[in-house]
Amino acid sequence: MLSNTIKEYVNILKMTRKPDKEEFWTTTKVAVAVMFIVGFIGFVIYLLMDVLPGALK
C-alpha cells in the first residue's frame, strides 16, 4: 500500500513542469486579486458587524 502511494507521488512529480514567465505572472495576478477581494469582503462584514449593532439601539 505504501509503495503504491509512493509510485503515485513519483508519477505526479514526473508530470509537473516549471511554468513559463507569462503563466507565472497570470497566476500571481489572479491570486493577488482574489486575496484583495476576500479581504475587502471580510472588511465589509467587519464594518457591518461593528456599525449595525450600534445603529439598532
Its domain, for residue 45, covers 21-57
Domain-embedded: residue 1: no
Given a cut of 80, whether residue 56 has pLDDT beyond it is no
Which cell is 16 given?
509537473
Rg (CA), the chain: 22
The total number of structural domains that make up the chain? 1
Whether residue 45 lies inside any domain: the answer is yes
What pLDDT does residue 38 have?
Answer: 98
pLDDT at position 1: 81
Exposure b/e, 18-44, CB count within 10 A at least 16 = b: eeeeeeeeeeeeeeeeeeeeeeeeeee
Q: What is the pLDDT of residues 18-36, one digit of tens each?
A: 999 999 999 999 999 999 9
- Domain for residue 4, yes or no? no
According to the model, what pLDDT value does residue 57 have? 57
